Structure 1
């Protein structure tokens, strides 16, 4: 039993980029009642959580001011009266940002630390890995020899996307925010080429040079001007996967930009949004394949591990400054 329990609540809704003043760390009583008592081991911090801080209707309910935030969390069962879970089991689920909490066991999934480190179940074997795999499977439909362009390529999702592209026999180009990240995705993950968007003056031209045969599949994690430039390089029957839009998450007004209708019509292209939660029935097959590639060495991953439960808000904020390499997780 923990000597002291804590939770992190949303103190106020951010205007623009979140700051520490939007969060509050509170000391609370230990969890006493419930079928299962969980002790938090690793917390996932993800860009999409920014959208839940707005008081607006979306695909998932917004966070409530004064209540704990939640995300995917890996926990250890420290006590249980539930026959499906025993003390010492490790589980993953959508859980509150608390050091310790009680739970019914509903929607919790056991994980095996002998297959991969616990933190990997929040990244390459978690929602980020699943997002990469299933978005490419459902929308990308990669074929050998095609060109795959990936933004946010050094991030948790993008780095897995690129590697799956190479496994499928594609020419893979990544877009990231530093020369170090470009070197990394080419050296560790096998990308064929990379573009540093922060030092590139003409993204349309840079993409054209890195993708001389045009872009067949664009996996978009950022939106904004990079999406605009990618669309100007797509091939006939291209597939554009709208997975994330981190470039506009902190905007206070809806941004405007070039109109894409003409390009999509002329190229008979598909642009489709993707939510991994829409494909729960396919998770097990995806995890099996990802774990197999991980075991064989075909798939590698990065993670940035921040130590300390109290550092969770800062770790979340740091994502928007690109301070993570791969998946950002907090070791509680």
Structure 2
């Protein structure tokens, strides 16, 4: 295996806030021989995710930062080329922590799930059947606890998670209202992603008033991917016994120094709110069963997904930056095939 050359995108400088292409470099490395218990995966598609900002910096995120001068931590889907690990064989397709690189020598601990769906494209394993779709389904149902007739507000409604939450809310008999960042995304959220109404926050002088107009009876479930001003506005409009699912904080570019803003505790107290944080990797045991549920919804035509696929490993850093400017149209994926 040492004759194989492995192209990698390495993190070489820590970002302060959103990573830029200048924080990464392309490098080549030999593929080492397999040791007992290891598998060699050839990556077909790489994921680009908002959480990579936290993995790249050292701002005290919930996960350990990526070491400098090493391949950028990333989820990927690929094919087993060789295996010295029990239960894995050449030709298996896997989804896991394989990094921004052509090849990965990994142990089974790096594998999040086996890809067994035959009728669904392999790229779906990075989005609707990956952590994006899994997050939407598990966070919405476990923490949001939707009931038919609920009013559900979702920030980044046209994003890689929000696009599924709107559809799942509709399937659950809820009325979904989305918040997104352009007229085009507003139209897409309503036409494709299950939203009864959507708000373009960039063109609203008073976001709280805009949400109040869209949700005149208040909000039962707030699925928040951004935090910031949108969250400040939404919390004041929650109904008694409402549930806030904190799934992301994309509106805050950096957490050092800590930002300040309105105090939320009075709303939490007087409205008896449940405000829960969700990290997908706390729910690994649910991945296989939840992916099967999502696959069934896709095959029945109830759940759709969009992908923004860019060709070439060298374009991964730029794709990550584009994610934070909202330029992507669907799940951001890097193709290596």
What is the 5 A alignment of 1:80-229? 80-108=83-111, 109-229=113-233
Aligned to 1:6: 7
In structure 1, the gaps of 5 or more residues are none
1:292 and 2:269 are equivalent in the alignment = no
1:55 is paired with a residue whose SS is coil
Cα deviation, residue 252, structure 1? 4.5
Partners of 1:217 and 1:239 within 8 A in 2? yes
CA distance in 1, matches of 2:50, 2:90: 33
1:166-185 CA distances to partner (integer Å, 9 max, x unpaired)?
00000110111111111111
CA distance in 1, matches of 2:49, 2:17: 16
Match of 1:19 in 2: 20
Say if 1:241 and 1:273, in contact at 8 Å, map to a contact too.
yes
Name 1:329's counterpart in structure 2: 333
Q: CA RMSD in A?
A: 1.6
| Aligned mates of 1:180, 1:251 — CA distance in 2 | 30
Pairwise CA distance, 1:56: 4.5
**What's the TM-score once normalised by structure 1's chain length?**
0.95
- Per-residue deviation at 1:68? 1.6
For the Cα contact (< 8 Å) 1:195–1:206, is it kept in 2? Answer: yes
Q: 1:311 aligns with which of 307, 311, 315?
A: 315
Displacement of 1:251 after TM fit? 5.5
Q: Return the alpha-carbon distance in structure 2 between the equivalents of residues 19 and 112 of structure 1.
A: 35
Residue 83 (structure 1) shift: 4.4
CA distance in 1 between partners of 2:44 and 2:27 (Å): 18
Q: Which moved more, 1:154-163 or 1:86-95?
A: 86-95
Between the aligned partners of 2:199 and 2:304, the Cα distance in structure 1 is 21
Q: Distance in 1 between matches of 2:315 and 2:227?
A: 28
* TM-score relative to the length of structure 2: 0.94
Give the Cα–Cα distance (whole angstroms) in 2 for the partners of residues 328 and 180 of structure 1: 18
